[in-house]
Amino acid sequence: MAITIRGAEPRKRNIASLVGGIVIAVGCFVLWVLVASKLTRFPPSLPVIVSGLVVALAVGFWIRLADL
């Protein structure tokens, strides 16, 4: 059985974890596009860019949750 404390305020989320998640996601996406452009023709195709965007969002979301 989980123990709950009534009347306790929820934990405040730090803005640094949000900013960190966004910065990491942008960096991950830029690296994805740079590597994809070296491995394939330049510019990379739309499915490669979309898959990079999905991976970058997942990594950024993970960093956001892990930093809380």
Gap between the Cα atoms of 60 and 54, Å rounded: 10
Q: Is 41 among the domain residues?
A: yes
pLDDT (0 to 100) of residue 64: 87
Q: Is 10 among the domain residues?
A: no
Res. 55: pLDDT tops 90: yes
Q: Is 61 among the domain residues?
A: yes
Gap between the Cα atoms of 48 and 58, Å rounded: 15
Question: Is residue 12 a contact partner of residue 63, using CB atoms and an 8 Å limit?
Answer: no
Q: Percentage of the chain with pLDDT > 90?
A: 43
Q: Is 9 among the domain residues?
A: no
pLDDT (0 to 100) of residue 7: 66
Provide the domain limits for residue 57: 15-67
Q: Is 2 among the domain residues?
A: no
Total domains in the chain come to 1
Question: Is residue 24 a contact partner of residue 64, using CB atoms and an 8 Å limit?
Answer: no
